[in-house]
Amino acid sequence: MNIGQLMEGKICLVTGTGRGIGQKIAERFAVAGGFVYAGARQEGSLEDWAASVNAGAAGEISPIYFDMTDTAAVKQAVVQIKKEQGRLDALVNNAGVVHNGALGMVPMDKVREMFEVNVFGLLELSQLVATRFMMKQKSGSIVNIASIVGVEGSRGQTAYSASKGAVIAMTKSMAQELASYKIRVNAVAPGMVDTGRLHVEIREEYRNYVPPIGMGRLGTPKDIADACLYFASDMASYTTGQVMVVGGGYDTQSRALYHIEFQ
């Protein structure tokens, strides 16, 4: 697909760009002409990647480093963008933490970590972006990365599902609250996506995750990035409060059967 100049002139912030889906979202936005602040925690970790993307993109990626759970650092990042650009047109809340485990087997410190990043960090950054930029501009798009398990639930992922369910609820409420300011808020809910982290998480169970997917393959980071590109661009100028499941026809009931078989 030729994405042309969909994001030309738009200033964007994408969090969680250290790998996988986040990197691909930032790349797609830059290729489409956007100036993209790519957020990550580890100082200096994005420089080589950003340079390689910038060599062939219509737009530009600029690394910005902060921890989503550090209020002072988050505020400083927003101040930096305000000082350098004066506006922000698109925010993609992609940063997230996953800890899977059966009910009663996930330590509460891991549950708290998921909510600190997936829910509280997302809310804090969205509040800052909305009040410091978008409400004053009377424009903007916020895209939250949820998950199909936040919509359908999933055995062995109760805590993670709860955090992503909260993201979906926040998306719908934020959309209602911000619509009068011409700010759109939507969510992308990925199904099973072929990333390095997925291979680590499911290891030898990997072969059991493809059969329940109607399209016969795992999703790719590009599949998710293209959904984000739609929501962030003017193509979705009249779309808000929506949750787009990008799952290839993923059958959660069949997936549960495969899980039982494997166990």
Q: Which of 26-35, 190-199, 200-209, 254-263 has the lowest mean pLDDT?
A: 254-263
User: Tell me, what's the pLDDT at 216?
Assistant: 85
The DSSP letter of residue 132 is I
187's tokens:
């969510």
**Active-site annotation, residues:** 160
pLDDT band for 253, please (50, 70, 90 cuts). low
**Count of domains forming the chain:** 1
Asked if residue 66 belongs to a domain, the reply is yes
Cα–Cα distance list, 95 to 69, 145, 193 (Å)? 11, 8, 15
Reply yes or no on whether the pLDDT at 2 is more than 80.
Answer: no
Average pLDDT over residues 111-122: 98
6 inside domain:
no
1 found inside a domain = no
Average pLDDT of 30-37? Answer: 98
To which residue do tokens 């993609």 refer?
A: 92
Q: Taking residues 35-63, what's their average pLDDT?
A: 97
pLDDT at 123 over 80: yes
Q: How confident is the model at residue 260 (pLDDT cuts 50, 70, 90)?
A: very low
**Residue 228 falls inside a structural domain:** yes
Assigned domain for 16 exists: yes
Alpha helices in 32-184 (DSSP H): 47-54, 71-85, 108-115, 122-129, 135-137, 148-152, 158-178
Contacts of 72 (CB under 8 A, 6+ apart): none
Does residue 2 sit in helix, strand or coil? coil
Q: Which alpha helices (DSSP H) does the chain contain, by range?
A: 20-31, 47-54, 71-85, 108-115, 122-129, 135-137, 148-152, 158-178, 196-202, 221-232, 252-262
In a domain, 5, yes or no: no
Mean pLDDT, rounded, for 203-217: 66
30 or 205, which is more confident?
30
What is the span of the domain harbouring residue 231? 11-262
Q: How much of the chain is in helix, strand and coil states, percent to nearest 5? A: 50, 15, 35
Task: Summarize the confidence of residues 196-210 as an average pLDDT.
Answer: 56
Per-residue pLDDT at 261: 31
User: What pLDDT is recorded for position 120?
Assistant: 98
94 has pLDDT over 90? yes
Query: Quick one: which of 187, 165, 175, 68 has its CA closest to 130?
Result: 175
Q: Write the CATH number for 102.
A: 3.40.50.720
- Residue 2 forms part of a structural domain: no
Average pLDDT over residues 11-29: 97
Residue 186 structure tokens? 């939507």
> pTM to 2 decimals?
0.91
Classify residue 159: in a domain, yes or no.
Answer: yes
